[in-house]
Structure 1
């Protein structure tokens, strides 16, 4: 992290039988930057202070074929002076297992420190609000868990992120985005 509005990324080089012509940097599921295939670093600017960003890198060859995503890296930019503490859920983990003809997806995350109870969360899948998670009793403390069942086929890919409803009624910052592949 380079202050509150920029990050420096670096990665190991990739090999390809045709030759790597560029590296594409993705923030969540959107390509935001490219560098020549001879470079394995990038300086990204224009970021928001106190925000969690998830980056992946893909190598691209002369035939315009891209590699699979690199491992995701989560970076949090520094807070702006006088800004409140971060409101994003942290350490989002997602797993899945088959159950009959369906898949069960389990989400687990560390709740943000807000000075009060978090009554609900919004779950976004593929960038769209999918459901609001409302606790049926007293909200949990520490780590929170949520389970959903889907009927999509093996290999279906989901990108998921959460945000908390803060004690003052406003929505907090998004967690880092995670991707899960059914049966993967």
Structure 2
């Protein structure tokens, strides 16, 4: 099982910088040379707005490279991760060495000929077809090579639902 770094958020993103740094620091030194961050695009964009919204002096996400970097590590998008902070626990940021994550395609693909294709009503459509399938799997090889930031929000509304409003003197402000 992947180790979790547990944090609690209340009503602002001001502590997010320290949470991301704590997550990076929690990864054992053995896995840091090839480590990457991964998050949903909504969370990545929240990190992009953080300097403007929370009066943080440093950029969390450096978009001058492809892929972007956060705290010196590449930052990848994963649309299957939590994209909003709502009441309860959310797994919003993953750090780790992805050479220790394996995706395997089982050898062999099965292809079957279908002489009479049926429609949604079960009646023949007067067509022929092919049906192909294969097996694919994935797993973490070394669970110690990853750390997951689990943020628990204490109250409503969700942090991600807060609007970033323009402010004349310094860019943006989160209410």
Q: TM-score range by the shorter chain?
A: under 0.3
Higher relative contact order (CA 8 A, sep 6+): 2
**TM score, norm. by length of structure 1:** 0.24
**TM score, norm. by length of structure 2:** 0.25
Rg comparison, structure with higher value: 2
Which structure carries more strand by proportion? Answer: 1
Which structure carries more helix by proportion? Answer: 2
